[in-house]
Amino acid sequence: MSDPTQLYLDLLKKSLMNLLYAEPDRIVMANGKPTPLHLARQDGSEWPLNGPMHSMIGMKRLNNIQHCLQDVLQNNIPGDVIETGVWQGGASIFMQAVLKVHKATSRRLWVADSFNWIPPPNPEKYPQDAASDLHTYRYLAVPLEKVQQNFLRYDVLDMNVRFLKGLFEETLPTAPIDQLALIRLDGDLYQSTMEGLMYLYPKLSSGGYILIDDYGAIPNCKQAVDDYRTQHQIMAPIIPVDWTGVYWQKP
C-alpha cells in the first residue's frame, strides 16, 4: 500500500508546478531551448510564462527540500526553517506542508522577501551585481497578500508561518530567529545571497542543511557562495541537485 503522506506530498508538488492537468509533451521554452513540458518542470528550467504556477523550481529541487527536511525531523536537528526569496510562495508552502504532515508544531517557517520587487543593484557596495537587470522583471514581484492567499489555497497557513517583509539587509539581522535547521536561499543577486549567508548560516545547527537555488544559473550567486565558504573555511562538499540547485549539510 502506498504511503498516504508520500501520496499527499507528491500530489502537492504536481499542483504547485501546475502538472496535474498539463499536457506533458507540450513544447515550452526552457533555458532558451524547446523542451517537453514534463522535462522542463523536472529540473525547473522553465520561466513562468507558459501558464500559472506557484513554484518554478522544478520537481528535483522540491524533492531535495523534502529529503533534507525529513532528515532534519528524523534526526531531531534543532531549529526553524527559512526561505529567502519566495516568488509565489510555492517552495515555502511545500516546506510548511512537510512540517505539518510530520506534526512538527514546534518549528516556525520564516518566509522572507521584499514582496515588492527584486532590488536594483548596489554597485558601490556589491560591484558583482552591477550588470544585473533582474529588478526590471516585474512578474518576479509578488505582493505579500498574494503569497498569503496561496498559503490559504493549500490550507497550510497557521501561526507557525512568519513573514519577513523587506530587504534582507533590513529584516534578517533583526529577525527573532534563534536557531535554524534548514535554510533555502533564492535571492538571485550576489548581495541577497551573501546577506542570507552572513545573517543566517551562523544560526544553522550542526547537521542542518543549506539549499542554494541559483548556484548554477547565476554567476553572481555562485560567487557569493564561493566567497563566503572561502572566508569561513567551509569544507562541506557542495552537492548538485539539478542544473542549478545545490546544497550541503553543515558538519
* pLDDT given for residue 1 in this prediction: 53
> Which of 72-81, 125-134, 236-245 has the lowest average pLDDT?
125-134
Residue 48 in this model has a pLDDT that exceeds 70 = no
* pLDDT given for residue 47 in this prediction: 77
Is 5 within the bounds of a domain? no
Please, how many CA atoms are within 13 Å of residue 12, restricted to the half-sphere of its CB? Answer: 26
Q: Which of 219, 211, 220 is nearest to 242 (CA)?
A: 211
Tell me the pLDDT band of 21, cut-offs 50, 70 and 90: confident
% of the chain surpassing 70 pLDDT: 98
Residue 251 in this model has a pLDDT that exceeds 60 = yes
Go through the chain and tell me how many residues it has: 251
Residue 157 in this model has a pLDDT that exceeds 90 = yes
**Cα separation, 118 vs 179, whole angstroms:** 27
Tell me the pTM.
0.96
> How do strand 27-30 and strand 180-185 relate by DSSP bridges?
unpaired
* pLDDT given for residue 38 in this prediction: 83
Is 196 within the bounds of a domain? yes
Q: What is the span of the domain harbouring residue 245?
A: 57-249
CATH number for 72: 3.40.50.150
Is 236 within the bounds of a domain? yes
> Which of 25-29, 82-86, 221-225 has the lowest average pLDDT?
25-29
> Which of 23-27, 61-65, 178-182, 192-196 has the lowest average pLDDT?
23-27
Count of the separate structural domains present in the chain: 1
Is 195 within the bounds of a domain? yes
> How do strand 80-84 and strand 180-185 relate by DSSP bridges?
parallel
**Cα separation, 204 vs 183, whole angstroms:** 8
DSSP state for residue 251 in the 8-state scheme: -
Counting other chains too, the contacts that 172-176 makes at CB distance below 8 Å and 24 or more residues apart are 172/84, 172/112, 172/196, 172/199, 172/200, 173/199, 175/110, 175/112, 175/199
- Which residue has better confidence, 22 or 94? 94
Is 150 within the bounds of a domain? yes
Q: Which of 83, 82, 101 is nearest to 154 (CA)?
A: 101
Is 104 within the bounds of a domain? yes
- Which residue has better confidence, 99 or 35? 99
The mean pLDDT of the chain is: 94
Is 30 within the bounds of a domain? no
% of the chain surpassing 90 pLDDT: 75
Cell 502538472 sits on residue: 19
Is 158 within the bounds of a domain? yes
> Reduced to 3 states, what is the DSSP secondary structure of residue 192?
helix
Tell me the pLDDT band of 145, cut-offs 50, 70 and 90: very high
Residue 32 in this model has a pLDDT that exceeds 90 = no
Per residue in 174-224, pLDDT (tens digit) is 999 999 999 999 999 999 999 999 999 999 999 999 999 999 999 999 999
For range 125-135, the mean pLDDT? 89
Residue 89 in this model has a pLDDT that exceeds 80 = yes
Residue 107 in this model has a pLDDT that exceeds 80 = yes
